Amino acid sequence: MIDLHLHSVFSDGTNKPAELVEQGVRLGLRAIALTDHDTVDGVDELQSACQKERMDFIPGVELSAGIYSLRKDHQREVHILGYFPKWDEEIKKALEPLRQIQAWREERNRSIIQKLRGYNVPITYEELVALAGGSNVGRPHFAAWLVEKGFAHSVGEAFQEFLVPGALTFTDRRTFNSSEAISLIRSVGGVAVLAHPKALHIFSDADFEAFLKGMVDEGLEGIEVYCSVHLPNDIRRYERMAEKFSLIKTGGSDYHGKMKPDIRMGYGFGYTHVNDSVYDDLKARLDFKSKNK
Ligand code: AMP
Ligand code: FE
Ligand code: FE
Ligand code: ZN
């Protein structure tokens, strides 16, 4: 068993990278990848823990890459997973442009705080940072704070009332577009993969194929076929798409710890089974790219 989509406290997960490794060992996982939102800051810790436990790992990231909009009332965030061939100073340096995304995120966060305070919601950046475990504050942390302080009954309600497009204090943030995200990933010999495609809510094959073709032309090499939100039907659909566009199939749970308590590491909601061959194929592609640079 493997899990190639995991979040840690370095974004909106609640486990430290070393805890993910520990948990992975307990579950008998053979390999894991860390894919925090817009940051690789957790990978050093992941690497040390994996070396100690002799667990295979792939350094990764999950980049927000703009909005897909089929119609005016259809807006879905595009997420692109990046998997990297190795972890060393050279690659860390080459991924410095991610700092720009983090700065845009912080700008957005400060604007949401201003707006909330305008509604007499007494939230502070310090509290959010504490809630986030020290880094990379995201909307899920706002939602958790709003629930904790009684401004919403649930995380879902907090999003609906305050944090989704059209809600009271929603603020857009700048991200890379898909072409920029894919280019950055590929510039370090990485493989770019479309994350949880079902979340885009593109129900017609023609629309989906047009969208996918655009990203393949930009350098996309994989699609996350096996993931928590996919039912057996979806898996068959995206396997077909992978074959049609010669894409690598990847998979993982999208585990966020307590932030999304219904998702279990290694298992997702219970549907996710990611074959070991998925890891072998991804690893083979990364090795091939390293050798043929
Ligand atoms: P951010 O990157 O800070 O803009 O936050 C985006 C994250 O918020 C996504 O990765 C999801 O985990 C979460 N999210 C977005 N929309 C919702 C929603 N309607 N309900 C619950 N979580 C959401
Ligand atoms: Fe998340
Ligand atoms: Fe995602
Ligand atoms: Zn994710």
Position 90 scores a pLDDT of 96
Residues listed for the chain: 293
Position 271 scores a pLDDT of 65
What pTM value is reported for the model? 0.95
Q: Which residues surround ligand 4, an ion (CB under 5 A)?
A: 62, 254
What is the mean pLDDT of the segment spanning 266-284? 89
- Inform me whether the pLDDT recorded for 269 exceeds 90: no
Q: Are 32 and 20 in contact (CB under 8 A)?
A: yes
Position 32 scores a pLDDT of 98
CATH 3.20.20.140 domain span(s) along the chain: 2-96+181-291
Pocket flag, ligand 1, residue 83 (CB < 6 Å): no
Position 210 scores a pLDDT of 97
Pocket flag, ligand 1, residue 139 (CB < 6 Å): yes
Which stretches of the chain are assigned E, i.e. beta strand? 2-6, 31-34, 56-68, 76-83, 191-194, 222-227, 248-252
Residue 134 pLDDT grade (very low, low, confident, very high; cuts 50, 70, 90): confident
- Inform me whether the pLDDT recorded for 16 exceeds 80: yes
CATH 1.10.150 domain span(s) along the chain: 101-163
Q: Which CATH number fits domain 101-163: 1.20.950, 1.10.150, 3.30.1490, 1.10.1760?
A: 1.10.150
Pocket flag, ligand 1, residue 155 (CB < 6 Å): yes
What is the mean pLDDT of the segment spanning 31-51? 97
Burial class (CB in 10 A: 0-12, 13-18, 19+), 102: middle
**Residue with the nearest Cα to atom 4 of ligand 1?**
139
Mean of the per-residue pLDDT values for the chain?
A: 95
Closest by CA position to 217, among listed 249, 250, 182: 182
Pocket flag, ligand 1, residue 165 (CB < 6 Å): no
Pocket flag, ligand 1, residue 140 (CB < 6 Å): yes
Position 273 scores a pLDDT of 80
Mutate to test the pocket of ligand 1, among 10, 135, 139 (most ligand atoms within 8 A of CB): 139
- Inform me whether the pLDDT recorded for 150 exceeds 80: yes
**How far, in Å, from the CA of 4 to the mean position of ligand 4?**
10
Give the rounded percent of residues in the chain with a pLDDT score beyond 70. 100
- Inform me whether the pLDDT recorded for 31 exceeds 80: yes
Q: Which CATH number fits domain 2-96+181-291: 3.20.20.140, 3.40.1350.10, 2.30.40.10, 3.30.70.2860?
A: 3.20.20.140
